[in-house]
Amino acid sequence: MKMKNILVVEDDVSLSAGLTYALEKEGYCATHCRNAADALKKAAEFHFDLALLDMQLPDGSGKEIALQLKPCNTPIIYLTIVDDEDEIVKSLEDGAKDYMTKPFRMRELLARIKKALNEEKENGDILNIGEAVIDVSAGKVFINKQLIPLTALEYRLLLIFAQNKSVLLKREQILERIWDISGNFVEDNTLTVYVKRLREKLGDGVSITTVRGIGYRVDS
Amino acid sequence: MEILEVKDLTKMYGSGDTQVTALDHVSFQVKKGEFVAIVGASGSGKSTLMNLIGGIDRPTSGDVIVDGKEIFAMSESALAIFRRRNIGIVYQFYNLIPNLTVDENIMLPCLLDNRKPDEQKLSKIVEMTGLSHRRDHLPGELSGGQQQRVSVGRALINDPAFILADEPTGNLDSKAGREIMELLLSANRKANQTLILITHDENIALQADRIITISDGRMIRDEVMRV
Amino acid sequence: MWIRKKELLSLSEGIRRALDGQPFDPRNNKEGAFSILKNDIYTLTHSGQEQKNVLAEEKEHLAEYLSDISHQLKTPISSILLMTELMADAPEKTKQEFLQSIKKEIRHMEWLVTALLKMAKLDSSVTNFHREEIPVSLLLGEALKSVEIILDIRNQTICLKNDLSLYCDKKWTGEALINLLKNASDFSVENSEILVDCGENPLYHWISITDTGEGLKKEQIARLFRRFESSGKENGYGIGLPLALSIMRGQNGDIAVSPGGHGSGATFFMKFYK
């Protein structure tokens, strides 16, 4: 399958290094530009499947590059430090596919890139894992059409497993996805307790494998 | 510039062997819109402080500067008028004029100035006190809590530099007391009305943005509760 | 009433001086309409000065916020610096631990910067509030999404006693509510029910949150709304409640505390003035 080309226009050295590394690790081909002038040149020469544009560039704005890319219908995701709601709405109305405020989680950005490139494999509203069917919009879980009552954290854990099928998830990775930015950190042994509860409630419907000393894996 | 500045305020009574220092070099400033509670036990000097801030008594030394004006540099009569126009006082025992209606009691500071208050403003204040349907009643026909609410209305009518409230809930039951506090808090937050409240009740003091503690005539603590 | 021409001219000159920015206090505290006029003129010419005072104060406040951010960031930055230095030749397991700690500290800094910036904006009144009629049950439902995991872990539930519609900014009010709920969860014992109620009186609409703790002592109340005094990672690193207060005050509201005690938990009231 042909690799997708992503144009990354970001002037910060560390951020762009991290971005290109992450994108290439994910299987994309990343072209990095540090300013608007370079980006406009590249945009005129090559075709890109998606563009990640920093709004604030040393010699202009990401919007100028977006304009250049408009005729090719390249989906645009803006990266910006501004979190003004009105600004965001305006950009989206002007045609941007999506918008990420810094600081952002790479995981989140990759998910949005996939979405913008229409690479989603499953219907986002229903997730399957083992014999469990998760209706994400309703927040409900069913096994063999039976509703399984899960507490908030149990549900979140199952969701994390379902979004990472057959992936070995380290304990720390799981904990990170539950942490609250304002400081309510879930402890490690809480995780153990809740996985145990989840196992009890799901029974044979979902098989959660413990990988000793590392984490958990759930296969479909 | 602060709306109130208390500078090195001292009050002594008597002389020689029997001299008593009621207030000992107290200094602090209050900004516009602040809600300050002055707490102290009985005999701590807080009442003396209140009388001096309100211009009701004169200090042995020190100054009280209200909205830029040194109040003790004025004559007695000028001070009385200044007080009427610039300070709103709420007493523990309401101090309403018994033969004036609710409306008239609230308007009193204006009437004394031979002025008619703005009708809209008067209505707004009457509404705030919750006595819109009792405007023509006399104090004798009102409960303690209602009378105190009229008293608060009277203190607000002139948009004073600050309201000075001396144990405003002291003579009321807990429900009426809560209502008065809500009324004062509402004026403080909505109209940015500076409020200085004297109390011995810790629970009331804890509602303020700032607590100044007086003990033995001295200011022993000035604690900001809410930034 | 007899007013000397000289007095009128003097008043006129004083007003011109005031317009020029110079101090002018014509008040003479005498009886009579002319004295009252002088009072009114003072108020009028003084409003400009007041605005300047307000601006100066705001500048002071902003400086305080900047100072706060700078001080508060120093500790997490020091931690991160230290850990990155130690990581270079640490065993793999320790490296992972340090990495996790670094991530925690970064989240801490993110929160601090965001919260302080919000408070600074709220306090200088540059925030646009989009007010609408919204039922408390809806506000609570939204807010619960952010606290349900904490409640789950501590096995706590929330019970809404009454419902009514109030006029406020949904997003900001929701944020204030989340901080108050987190606070309530923190102070409440495990396996208990936190009570949320609402109502109105002639002065304001209100939402109350009652925890199942032991009530608050005076010293605790004093610390609640001062920035960075309530220590601890649990409660928004000491700015959760001050932020909630800024949000309410910015919206013509307030937060009041009833300390509880003697077996009763504390109650926090969100007031929405009419």
Q: Quick one: average pLDDT of B201-214?
A: 93
What single-letter amino acid sits at C270? M
From the CA of A175, how many Å to the nearest CA of chain C?
10
Please, which pLDDT band fits residue A183 given cuts at 50, 70 and 90?
A: confident
DSSP string for residues in A87-153: HHHHHHHTT-SEEEESS--HHHHHHHHHHHTT---S-TTEEEETTEEEETTTTEEEETTEEE---HH
CB atoms within 10 A of CB C201: 12
The pLDDT of residue B142 is 94
Q: For chain A, give the percent of residues with pLDDT over 70.
A: 97
What are chain A's partners, defined as 3 or more CB pairs within 8 angstroms?
Answer: C
Q: What are the structural domain ranges in chain C?
A: 1-126, 132-273
Q: What are the structural domain ranges in chain A?
A: 5-116, 126-218
Count of CB pairs separated by less than 8 Å, A with C: 53
Please, which pLDDT band fits residue C231 given cuts at 50, 70 and 90?
A: low
Give alpha helix (H) positions in C125-272: 136-153, 170-187, 218-224, 240-250
Q: Is C125 on the interface with B (CB under 8 A)?
A: no
Q: What is the pTM of this model?
A: 0.89
Q: Which residues of B touch C115 (CB under 8 A)?
A: none
Please, which pLDDT band fits residue C235 given cuts at 50, 70 and 90?
A: low
Among C100, C153, C236, the residue with its CB nearest the CB of A186 is C153
Q: Is C36 on the interface with B (CB under 8 A)?
A: yes
Q: Which residues of C touch A184 (CB under 8 A)?
A: 149-150, 182, 233-234
B63 phi, psi to nearest 5 deg: -130, 155
Q: Which residues of B touch C254 (CB under 8 A)?
A: 185, 189
At residue C18's C-alpha, the angle toward residues C14 and C20, to 5°, is 115
Q: Quick one: average pLDDT of B207-227?
A: 93
Residues B131 and C256: their CA atoms lie apart, in Å, by 25
Flag if A186 and C236 touch (Cβ within 8 Å): no
Are C143 and C207 in contact, with CB atoms under 8 Å apart? no
Q: Where residue B56 sits, what CATH number does that domain have?
A: 3.40.50.300
Termini Cα distance of chain C: 44
- What is the fold of C1-126? Helix Hairpins (1.10.287)
pLDDT digits (tens, 9 = 90+) for C10-64: 899 988 988 887 888 888 888 888 888 888 888 888 887 778 888 888 888 889 9
Q: Which of C152, C169, C239 to mutate to test the interface with A (most CBs of A within 10 A)?
A: C152
Please, which pLDDT band fits residue A115 given cuts at 50, 70 and 90?
A: confident
Please, which pLDDT band fits residue C230 given cuts at 50, 70 and 90?
A: low
Measured CB to CB, residues of chain C less than 8 Å from chain A are 96, 99-100, 103-104, 107-108, 110-111, 114-115, 128, 146, 148-153, 179, 182, 232-237, 240
- What is the fold of A126-218? Arc Repressor Mutant, subunit A (1.10.10)
Q: Is C273 on the interface with B (CB under 8 A)?
A: yes
Q: Is C63 on the interface with B (CB under 8 A)?
A: no
- What's the number of domains chain B is made of? 1
Q: Is the pLDDT of residue C234 over 60?
A: no
Query: What is the overall mean pLDDT for chain B?
Result: 93
The pLDDT of residue A124 is 64
- Does C132-273 match C1-126 at the fold level? no
pLDDT digits (tens, 9 = 90+) for B80-126: 999 999 999 999 998 999 999 999 999 999 888 888 888 999 999 99
Residues B195 and B176: their CA atoms lie apart, in Å, by 19
What are chain C's partners, defined as 3 or more CB pairs within 8 angstroms?
Answer: A, B
More confident residue, C104 or C197: C197
Cα C109 to Cα B218, C102, C224, C258, distances in angstroms: 42, 11, 21, 32
**The domain containing residue B51 runs over which residues?**
4-224
Cα B190 to Cα B33, B143, C252, distances in angstroms: 10, 26, 7
Count of CB pairs separated by less than 8 Å, B with C: 70
Q: Is the pLDDT of residue C232 over 70?
A: no
User: What ipTM describes this predicted complex?
Assistant: 0.88
Q: Which residues of B touch C259 (CB under 8 A)?
A: 203, 206
What class does CATH assign to C132-273? alpha beta
Domain A5-116 coded CATH 3.90.1300.10 = no
